[in-house]
Structure formats: structure tokens, C-alpha cells
């Protein structure tokens, strides 16, 4: 996301969009970092939920950028797919935590996977495309 924000800034795109994609694109990592040292199960769920909300906001801004054709579709498709996958991981972590109670070893494993995924392991993820409201589908 930061590379996208830097490119948008170099291309002279609106500062508001650059700031929003920077904030919502980096905030999930900070939430998850903090969740790893949560004081309680409720705190953990709240922080992971915050990460999921920020990922949802990132999807919104990515769809705006896509709708304005400010970035090639292939790069945006990859970022959208990764964001969708990260959302799914967060939602699974919340469901499992609520079901099992206190943080278990599986949640710590999922957290490690989340961070590895978040910090750009090269891959070609399957699509989980959400249709933008302005598309003519």
C-alpha cells in the first residue's frame, strides 16, 4: 500500500486519497501488532476487529482508485485480493477466539501467518473481488 501511495503522490493525485490509503493500508498491521500483546480476550477481539475495519476502508479506497483508473488494474487486483484475504483471516481469528475463549496456540499461529502475508510474501492469490458500486454489472 505504501508503494501505491507513493506512486499516487508522484502522479499528483489528491492528497486526501494518498493520506487515506496510507492510513488504512498500514493501520491493520499496527492493530495486529498490538493484538499480539492484548491484555484480555476482549481486547484481542477488539484489536483484530479494528484491523478488519481498516482493511474494509482500504478496499473502499482501492475501489475509488480503480474507478478513477489511476493505477493499472493488475496491480490493484493484487492489492484488492490480498486485502480480501487479510479480511478473511481477521474474521476467522475473531470467530475462533470467541468460540474458544482465551487466545490459543492456533491464534498465535494465525497471527504469524497474518504478519507474513501482510508484509508482502510474493504470491499469486485467488480472486475475491468485490464489485465496486459504480461498475455496470
Strands of 70-136 (E only): list them.
Answer: none
- Give mean pLDDT in consecutive 10-residue pieces for the chain, a chain of 137 residues: 93 96 93 86 91 95 94 89 93 86 57 59 45 40
Please count the helices (runs of H) and the strands (runs of E) in the chain.
Answer: 5, 0
2-118 fold: de novo design (two linked rop proteins) (1.20.1440)
Report, in this order, helix, strand and coil percent for the chain, each rounded to 5: 70, 0, 30
Residue 114 confidence (pLDDT): 65
Among candidate residues 81, 91, 95, 87, the one with its CA nearest the CA of residue 125: 81
Residue 94 three-state SS: helix
Give the separation between CA 62 and CA 79, rounded to whole angstroms.
Answer: 8
Domain limits, the chain? 2-118
The sign of the dihedral angle between the CA atoms of 78, 64, 1, 56 is negative
Q: Is the pTM of this model over 0.75?
A: no
Amino acid at each position: 500500500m505504501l508503494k501505491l501511495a507513493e506512486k499516487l503522490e508522484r502522479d499528483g493525485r489528491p492528497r486526501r486519497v494518498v493520506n487515506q490509503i496510507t492510513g488504512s493500508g498500514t493501520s491493520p498491521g499496527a492493530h495486529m501488532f498490538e493484538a499480539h500483546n492484548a491484555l484480555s480476550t476482549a481486547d484481542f477481539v477488539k484489536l483484530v476487529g479494528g484491523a478488519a475495519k481498516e482493511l474494509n476502508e482500504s478496499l473502499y479506497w482501492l475501489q475509488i482508485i480503480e474507478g478513477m483508473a489511476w493505477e493499472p488494474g493488475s496491480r490493484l487486483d493484487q492489492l484488492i485480493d490480498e486485502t480480501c484475504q487479510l479480511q478473511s483471516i481477521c474474521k476467522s481469528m475473531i470467530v475462533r477466539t470467541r468460540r474458544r475463549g482465551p487466545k490459543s496456540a492456533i491464534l498465535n499461529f494465525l497471527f504469524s501467518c497474518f504478519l507474513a502475508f501482510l508484509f508482502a510474501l510474493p504470491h499469486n492469490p485467488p480472486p475475491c473481488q468485490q464489485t465496486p458500486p459504480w461498475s455496470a454489472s
